[in-house]
A and B are shown apart, each in its own frame.
Chain A
Amino acid sequence: MNNVNKLSLRVIIPAILFAIFVLLQGCVFYLEYQQAQKRLYIEKEQYIKGIAGNLQTTLSNTLMRLEKAQAQHIVSETALDQNFKTIAIVDHNQQIILSNDLRKKYMFSKLQLEQYDGNLLPQVIEKNEFIFQYNDRTQDLIVYAPLQMLSKGNSLNRKYNGLIFIRYSLTSAIKSLQYNALVSLIKISTTLLVTLFLLIYFLNRIIIRPLNQLALSTNISDLSNKIEVDQSGIGEVGLLQNSFAKLANEVKNNINRLSASEQRWLYALSGARDGVWDWNICDDNVYYSTRWKEMLGYDKSDIGTDIDEWESRIHPEDLFAVLQDLRFHFTGRNSFFENTHRVRCFNGEYRWILSRGQTVSWDADGQPLRVIGTNTDVSVYKESQEKIKQQTQFDEITQLPNRSQLLAHIAQEAARAQHNELHGAVIFIECNQYKTINDLQGHFKGDELLYLIARRLEELKSGPDFIAHLQGSEFVAVLPDLHKDSEHAAEMALEFAQHLDKKLKEAFIIDGEDVVLSCVLGIELFPTADADANDLLRQSAMAMKNAKNNEFSNISFFAREIEQKILARHNLQKQIHLGLENQEFTLYFQPRINAQGELTGAEALTRWLHGAQGWVNPGDFIPVAEDCGLILPLGDWVVKSSFEQFAQWQKLGLPESFTTLSINVSPKQLLQTTFVRSIERYLEETQIDPGFIEIEITENILVAHMDLVINKLNTLRELGLRFAIDDFGTGYSSFAYLSVLPVSTLKIDQSFIVNLMHDENQKVIVNAIISMAQALKLDVVAEGIESQEQLTFLTASGCTQFQGYYIGTPLAKKDFQTLLFKGHKTVHSSSKNELKKIT
């Protein structure tokens, strides 16, 4: 069937026409030939019958006249036609009387004449019958015609009767007929063939060739270009060409639009660096784009298309989620399939792949047949996401959960505890030495220390416990489900805290050095009413702060009072700030005398007259200012104001005995880089003699920042300033620095003086200090002298200068100025007398 379809019309149409022509012409020819043959037969029959009749007459006449020669002549003449095979006259004895073949004359007819039937003779003669026969085989017409040969004049011959035998061959006539028929057939055939050839030619020219060209022009691989269609066809062919050209043009435009759109998608896909997969669910085969294979490190061919292989590549942990998402998509729960999972690469590594897809065809039952989707390599995002997650929830240094996670955990535990009616605890831990180590030995060591602390904490925690790191050396432990009873829970928390404290006190080894830490711990129990996670954490921190301030224990529970205290402190910070702005601070000067009772100096003290609260105790606001850094502007203000005041006094003319204006400088202030410069500036501004200025520093600062402080002090010393060690003997005292520091004065802390008269030890210590100062040629100032006994004892011990309420309370500048310039009214007269006695 296909072969017939492929046959050209130029064959089929002529073949059909040819077949029809041949069939029709064959029929016509056959019928005509049959008719012609019949006509020929009839014609010849009549002709022969005519001849026979003629011969009957003429021969009868001549033979009856006995003109035999004439009769022979007639026969011979008649036979002048090659179709007359035989003309013979036979008598009743079957003897041939006359013949066109002279040789047969007088012969026995039955023997000599071909196809002659002698038995017919009597019938012909007696019945005077004319017999006409046709021999179909030999195609001969045979005639037996009776002949009267009786001569009337001769009685002897009277009964002579015979017949005329004629054998006439139709062979030549039939052959001729056949020949003519053949010729006409050839003529018709030739005409037919010529017509057919012309038909084929014109068919080819007008229809086939244009159609072929049209077919050829359809056979274009690149449809995006303009298609040239020959439109020279005639009639319907032209119409076809025309409409094809239109169609082709439209198709071209559509294809161009389509390919542009496809191109966009391709560019988008390739730009997105996404792989494409196409899953044919029927045969469970998956097509992968080159990019997808490339993502997984496969070559173009060595990836199997079986869906099972795809499954086997998915990380076992992710497989369930992937299949579930697929199921959700197939069941219509999700209109898209989307899942991020790990896929094994060619080299065995796993990559994070974001796979998205959608079912594009369904069978009649609504079962998915084909799913197409993309794969995006999200490994980098996933990793960074993980990292961010880690960072947001974990501390980088300690690898412990950070604040946000801690808060979440506390919230969770608090809620759970409330539900379970159990009590838990939040323990806030801070290590004191961390900051120092961090500052002195660098962040690296600090970090290492934190890491070690974290590990140690982790070692100590039990199952449900939770350890987090906040900042600096702040750690928090959350102990859930301690006990039903809050008191019991508090006990357990305390035990744990003590255990922690103990363990943390054990030395840490960093770079071969032992580092010993001391910790403060704040405990807060939960759940508490109206407190969220943030509150709990804050409260534990407050507890810790409280512990810090506690001399007796480094572990403290949070109490409402602590909170209030801290709140007050916080409030105070704000007030200090405001006070500075509003110039509520003023300088008071506490007199210092020598053994002779002369006013040798004064210590500048800060006093704060709060607008609302009145006088504020320096013991309350100074530590707060120290904590919050407000000590810096405050200290600066103190230095500046002192210098200015002293400058005024200098102008007024100081008494000879007055040699020292002592100013307290906080460690933070001293450590400030701009401190030396600001001192220089103020000296320059006020033009005071730096030799009068004595800066008081505490021992603690010397411990922490020895080198830095020594340098600074030396610089200031070069300016002419003097230094005193304040509160000497209370801190981490080292005699070593006394030799190094450019210190001129030691101020014995008032704690030694308070119980001096009752405590022998104190006397020994004070004597020792004085002796040592004398040995080192340092001035010794005893502070906090409140009685004559004290003064007497100290004078006797060799102390040179004295300060205290007994000597003189701190005075406002106006009062001090009065004292300074108008005598020694303020100095206790009794004490003066006492001094005189001693000396």
Chain B
Amino acid sequence: MKLFFLFAKRLVCLVLLVSFISSCQPYKPPLTVAAAPWPNYEFLFLAKQLNYLNPEQFSLFELPSSTSVTQAFQTGKLDVAFLSLDEVLTLVALGIDLKIISVIDQSVGGDSLLAKPEIKKLQDLKWRSIGYENKAAGALLLDEMMSLSGLNNQTIQLYEVKQNEVKDAYMQGNIDALIVREPQKQQLLELGAVELLNSSILEQRITHLIVTREDSFYSKEEQITELLKRFYKAQEYYKENPKDALTTMSVRLQVYPYLLEKSFSGTLFIEPRDALMRLSGSPSNIELQASQLSKFMTAKNMLGKIPSNFNSLISTRILERVIYE
């Protein structure tokens, strides 16, 4: 009788325990990540290609432009997004709660103003049509071009051309100049386009970041950490096996590997420890950049509302884990 009771009690405990454990581990949907084409972003897809990322845990969306990424992030379809600082500021201004968890690179020529071969210098752009994606990079380059050439809004025609549309737009020939970024820049240069200006001369650096939605930051920290680790691991792989990596990566971007290699030259990859330094401090490097950029963007009417505190947007925790674990 006593034995029976003991057995029953143990059984009940076991059932409760099992149900508790299973309720603690519900079906976890994969971490959704998206990135637009950009050389240093490709390590993400390289990691997937290298099978560093378990498809059960990580779902990568290949979006053709950063605008699509921003929109997807904004609509909550993404947990993690690879975005430039201005895009991040735009999202913050829209009231999206997010965290900047790492810095990937700086554009040192990756963004360029390309023009048809017949246009040799900036002044030739007068009365011409210029296509650009309404983003900080484009705005900064336009601003630089205007200040260098003395042209203004009245003397040039501006068209919105998204990153994935630039090739079609250039080939159709309706647009005289385009503000493009890698790897499309290399594709257009192949088609004979002339580089008039690039981001390397810009005082304001175009910085690319990894951000995560704030709720995902807290609930999926492990997965995000894992993602970053795999990302940097793929980057390591690229450094060690550049040819192989370039070949793999070029397939997705539909460019030749040598062009992709050129694309990388327009970027300055920031190693994790460096990134951690840029994110650390009060105010941190990124904070200062954000503050500067936000002022510029506000001035250009690109931002509705300036975020008051950038510090709260930054979290080094995941990056620290990536580095030290």
Contacts and interface: CB of A to CB of B under 8 A. Distances in A.
**A interface bracket (residues with beta carbon within 8 Å of B):** 20 to 34
Interface of B: 1, 4-5, 8, 12, 15-16, 19, 22-23, 26-27, 29-30, 32, 34, 45, 49, 59, 61-65, 68, 72, 77-78, 162, 164-165, 167-168, 251-254
A7 B1 contact: yes
Given A82-B32, A189-B19, A73 B8 contact: no
A73 B68 contact: yes
Given A73-B64, A193-B16, A68 B23 contact: no
Interface of A: 6-8, 11, 67-70, 72-73, 76-77, 79-82, 100-103, 105-106, 172, 175-176, 178-179, 182-183, 185-186, 189-190, 193
B19 A102 contact: no
7 contacts: A8-B1, A11-B1, A102-B254, A172-B30, A182-B22, A190-B19, A193-B12
A205 to B, nearest CB: 17
A11 B62 contact: no
B252 A103 contact: yes
A289 B165 CA distance: 122
B52 to A, nearest CB: 16
Given A190-B19, A193-B12, A69 B64 contact: yes
Nearest to B63: A76
A80 B61 contact: yes
B30 A101 contact: no
Nearest to B75: A80
A68 B68 contact: no
Given A82-B30, A176-B27, A103 B68 contact: no
Contacts of A100: 61-62
B55 to A, nearest CB: 9
A172 B30 CA distance: 9
Contacts, number: 82
Which of B12, B63, B72 has the most chain A CB within a 10 Å cutoff?
Answer: B63
B152 to A, nearest CB: 30
A179 B63 contact: no
Contacts of B8: 11
B112 to A, nearest CB: 19
B26 A79 contact: no
Closest 7 CB pairs of A and B: A82-B59, A175-B27, A186-B19, A103-B252, A69-B164, A179-B27, A69-B165
Nearest to B78: A80
Contact of A76 (B1, B32, B62, B167): B62
A105 B37 CA distance: 15
Nearest to A67: B168
B64 A76 contact: yes
Interface of A is mostly: helix
A70 B161 CA distance: 11
Contacts of A68: 168
A103 B248 CA distance: 9
Nearest to A72: B64
Given A11-B4, A102-B252, A80 B72 contact: yes
Given A102-B62, A186-B23, 19 more contacts: A7-B4, A11-B1, A11-B5, A67-B168, A69-B164, A70-B165, A73-B64, A76-B64, A77-B72, A80-B34, A81-B77, A82-B32, A102-B252, A102-B254, A176-B27, A176-B29, A183-B23, A186-B22, A193-B16
A72 B63 CA distance: 9
A839 B254 CA distance: 224
Which of A69, A70, A186 has the most chain B CB within a 10 Å cutoff?
Answer: A69
Contacts of B251: 103
A111 to B, nearest CB: 14
Contacts of B253: 102
A73 B61 CA distance: 12
B164 A72 contact: yes
Nearest to A99: B62
Nearest to A101: B62
Contacts of A77: 63, 68, 72
A3 to B, nearest CB: 9
Contacts of B64: 69, 72-73, 76
A189 B15 contact: yes
A535 B47 CA distance: 158
A102 B34 CA distance: 13
Contact of A80 (B77, B162, B165, B254): B77
A183 B26 contact: yes
Nearest to A105: B254
Contacts of B45: 103
Given A103-B252, A172-B29, A179-B27, A73 B164 contact: yes
A198 to B, nearest CB: 14
A176 B29 CA distance: 9
Contacts of B254: 102, 105-106
B249 to A, nearest CB: 10
Which of B12, B27, B29, B68 has the most chain A CB within a 10 Å cutoff?
Answer: B27
A8 B8 CA distance: 13
Nearest to A11: B4
B73 to A, nearest CB: 10
Contacts of B30: 82, 172
B254 to A, nearest CB: 7
Contacts of B59: 82
B20 to A, nearest CB: 8
Contacts of B252: 102-103
B263 to A, nearest CB: 15
B61 A178 contact: no
Contacts of B15: 189, 193
